[in-house]
Amino acid sequence: MDDRRGPHLLFLTDEQLKKGIEAMFFAYKGFTADPDRILEQYGYGRAHHRAIHFIHRSPGTTVNNLLAILGVTKQSLNRVLRTLVEDGLVESRVGTRDKRERHLVLTEKGQALEADLAEAQRARMRAAYREVGPEAVDGFRKVLEAMMDPDMRRHFNALKDPE
Amino acid sequence: MDDRRGPHLLFLTDEQLKKGIEAMFFAYKGFTADPDRILEQYGYGRAHHRAIHFIHRSPGTTVNNLLAILGVTKQSLNRVLRTLVEDGLVESRVGTRDKRERHLVLTEKGQALEADLAEAQRARMRAAYREVGPEAVDGFRKVLEAMMDPDMRRHFNALKDPE
DNA sequence: TGGTAAAGTCAACAAGACTGACGTAAATTG
DNA sequence: CAATTTACGTCAGTCTTGTTGACTTTACCA
């Protein structure tokens, strides 16, 4: 309601916040557009992409861990995972230390699709980054991280950082 | 594949781009979490939120314009719009200049829900902004805009800017 | 041995997207 | 003025991706 608040001097009006919210909405569309086009050719959806992405990112991850990262139910994930295993993109290996666990890894075929999807998505990100410069990118990442729920931030930070 | 490229010196490795992509994924979850909780109490979903948001933002907008902004089919939008009109949150007024058009406006009840949803979403955005400072916010907005498809960027820029 | 945990599955359901086909009213154009 | 196009609404059917709830199998652990 009020436009200016906060402890020091404040720079963010509700209108400016609203523009940020809208930017997020429009940008997310662009963010998913390129991989979506590729996935369509394979008869896959975004859920498949997410599974492939995080399995690639943490090879050998367990189903439970993946569930926590994606924040969906096991029934939902299982549907996706089953088709990926059937199609030979993902391999599910029985755990050695704990045989109840299944460790998920991408097959060669899975890695090929992952590379395809990742490159498409990176291309847009790279173009955007290049357009706006390194300082902007730093700010972008900082705001995004600050917007995450604590649990998600934990998962985000657990993913290995670029050296 | 290669890590460094571009005309000058380059700062973005594929690994860094990947972290940006993941940040986007986790942040979007947080971005929608608060309004989702409110919407649930009314039996509405995100689609209702989006319609309400953009009708509030451009009062009197036509159905066609809303379709272009949201990027969905009219069948999909209509389902949502119908319930909002039935529930008395949105009013659909026959156009005066062109009687084929319907101009959409929020009723008082609609405005009340909009205010609720907007404040919930702004609160998180505000907290994030405050955590990271004004320079970061500027970068955030710049990157998001650079990530949009041209059409979406057009719609984004057509929304009135904070003075 | 008994309880808990990991994974998988079956069934039913809902939101929200899609396509395709149609209908009506109003505007526009030849 | 007649024909076409536009704006909107609707019916019907499909798909993806999420949900809940119940149940099983296997394995770990105290």
Q: Which residues on chain A are in Cβ contact (under 8 Å) with B144?
A: 23-24, 26-27, 140
What ipTM was predicted for this assembly? 0.92
B152 touches strand C (CB under 7 A): no
Give the residue, B8 or B127, on which the prediction is more confident. B127
Task: Decide if A152 is inside a domain.
Answer: yes
Task: Decide if A16 is inside a domain.
Answer: no
Say if residues A101 and A65 touch (Cβ distance below 8 Å): no
pLDDT at position B10, please?
Answer: 56
B74 touches strand D (CB under 7 A): yes
Task: Decide if A104 is inside a domain.
Answer: yes
Q: Name the pLDDT band for A160 (thresholds 50, 70, 90).
A: confident
Residue of A93, A92, A94, A95 whose CA lies nearest to A80: A92
Both structure tokens of B2: 């290669």
Task: Decide if B106 is inside a domain.
Answer: yes
| pLDDT tens column, B62-88 | 999 999 999 999 999 999 999 999 999
Find the helix or strand (DSSP H, E) in which B158 lies. helix B150-158
Task: Decide if B125 is inside a domain.
Answer: yes
Could you tell me the residue range of the domain that residue A85 belongs to? 21-157
Q: Which residues on chain A are in Cβ contact (under 8 Å) with B126?
A: 12, 17
Task: Decide if A10 is inside a domain.
Answer: no
Query: What average pLDDT does the structure give for chain B?
Result: 92
Domain count along chain B: 1
Give the CATH number, domain containing residue B78: 1.10.10.10
Task: Decide if B50 is inside a domain.
Answer: yes
Comparing every residue's Cα with the C1' atom of nucleotide D16, the nearest one is A45
Chain-centroid distance, C-alpha A134: 21
pLDDT at position B163, please?
Answer: 60
pLDDT at position B48, please?
Answer: 98
Residue B15 reports pLDDT greater than 50: yes
Instruction: Return the sign of the alpha-carbon dihedral for residues B148, B150, B155, B160.
Output: positive
Task: Decide if A8 is inside a domain.
Answer: no
